[in-house]
Amino acid sequence: MLTDYIQRAMNKARCEILEDGAYYGEIPGFQGVFAYAESLEACRQQLQEVLEGWILLGLRLGHHLPVVDGIALEMRKETA
């Protein structure tokens, strides 16, 4: 499920080339998830790494993460 979530979020990524020739990427709806790199491939790789860290931190802190193509991630507390 996590892999599908990440892949589907990455499918929504937008990357653009900047005036200096570097690339900027972001994923709409994922505040603070962005990347800046010298190539498109490096930008997308960095963007995915940032997304993964953002997801892990968000889950740990109990944040509500965006639903992506019907996939919702949430931490569930175990009951004894």
pLDDT, tens digit, 9 for 90 and up, residues 37-79:
999 999 999 999 999 999 999 999 999 999 999 999 987 766 6
CATH architecture of 2-61: 2-Layer Sandwich (3.30)
The domain locations on the chain are 2-61
How much is the pTM? 0.90
Side-by-side strand order, sheet with 14-17: 14-17, 23-26, 34-37
What is the rounded distance in angstroms from the CA atom of residue 24 to the CA atom of residue 44? 9
- Res 76: pLDDT: 72
- Strands 14-17 and 34-37: what pairing? unpaired
